[in-house]
Amino acid sequence: MKRETLEAQINKAVSLLKSVPEPLKSQAFPVVLARLLSAKKGDGTPPESEERPTPAVRRRRIPPQPTRADMLRSLIAQGWFKTPRGIAEVARELRTRGLPIKVTSLPALLLPLVIRGRLKRRVSKEGKKETYAYYL
């Protein structure tokens, strides 16, 4: 690099740091000068070859959670329905296994299993109230 070019870059660094307070100026001067000297055009921007690529964001892969239907199928496979179970019992068991579920949403999941023959159900009447018990 020519002496005139070097002096011009030093003067440019000094002029850029005029408004910076003294304790910071002595720390910032080498950084500004290095950028000016490494720049292609001399305007302070780093050359394209020295630009750092932005790091890729790593996303932690979360394993898929079992669905409500998957949980019911696992209860069937484990033989949990060997004894007749009411809807409230099924909901309680699913909650203990970590799946919060409302009792009112269970009939929509249990009825297709009954229709396909994976479960059976029986009706018990207590006065005017009918309850269903599901079993294998």
Kindly report the CATH number assigned to the domain that includes residue 102.
1.10.10.10
Give the number of domains in the chain: 2
What is residue 55's predicted lDDT score, i.e. its pLDDT? Answer: 76
Are 127 and 75 part of one and the same domain?
A: yes
Q: How far apart are CA 66 and CA 79, in angstroms?
A: 18
* Element (DSSP H or E) covering residue 115: helix 106-116
Q: What is the pTM of this model?
A: 0.53
Beta bridge partners of 85: 134
Q: Give the model's confidence band at 61: pLDDT under 50 very low, under 70 low, under 90 confident, else very high.
A: confident
Q: Which domain range does residue 23 map to?
A: 3-47
**pLDDT class of 47 with cuts at 50, 70, 90:** low
Res 88: pLDDT: 93
Rounded CA gap, 78 and 8, in Å? 81
In a shared domain, residues 127 and 74: yes
Question: Which pLDDT band, with edges at 50, 70 and 90, does 52 fall under?
Answer: low
Are the CB atoms for 91 and 80 separated by under 8 Å?
no
pLDDT higher for 125 or 46? 125
Print the SS3 string covering 71-92.
Answer: HHHHHHHCCHHHCCEEHHHHHH
Q: What is the pLDDT of residue 120?
A: 95
Higher pLDDT, 86 or 59: 86
Other beta carbons within 10 Å of 114: 14
**76 and 30, same structural domain?**
no
pLDDT of residue 63: 84
Examine residue 60 and state whether it is found in any structural domain, yes or no.
no
- Overall average pLDDT of the 8-23 stretch: 82
Question: Does 61 fall in a domain?
Answer: no
Residue 42, CA distances (Å) to 12, 32, 115 in order: 9, 11, 78
